Amino acid sequence: MKTALDSALAAATSSGSVDPLGKVVYQYTATAAINGHGRTLEYEADDIGLDLMVKAGYDPREAPKVFEQFLRVSGDQSALKNFLHGTHPTNKARIAKLRTLIAERYAGLDKAKVTRNSQDYVAVAQRYWH
């Protein structure tokens, strides 16, 4: 049975037949492109989340610690596997990106005026991280 992908690939070739290797290459290329878009959206969400965190009075230096914990618990995919199959940036990439944003935007932030490790946070963190 011919799939929509087979039909599209056949139409794109001069012979009208589908090369199995071409089909695999197309599938990986399409997946990488779609996942790359998803990773871009995740970086954007991290960026917006960091701004909202600071506007709410929290210390932005705490944000990378979430992904440091994910890294300790779950590890990371290789760069190639993440490029081909990952829908989110790697934990290491998110940590690096957040640290860069913090250094660029919040270097002059008065650290005495931001909240860190509130009692509520510590109570929740102990339930989930320890």
Residue 8: predicted pLDDT: 57
**What does pTM read for this prediction?**
0.65
User: Mean pLDDT score of the chain, rounded to an integer?
Assistant: 79
How many other β-carbons are positioned within 10 Å of the β-carbon of residue 39? 18
Of the ranges 4-18, 23-37, 80-94, the best mean pLDDT one: 80-94
The pLDDT of 78-86, averaged and rounded, is 80
Q: Cβ contacts of residue 89 below 8 Å, gap of 6+?
A: 39, 42, 43, 82, 97
The pLDDT of 4-30, averaged and rounded, is 60
Residue 11: predicted pLDDT: 57
- Percent of the chain at pLDDT > 70 equals 69
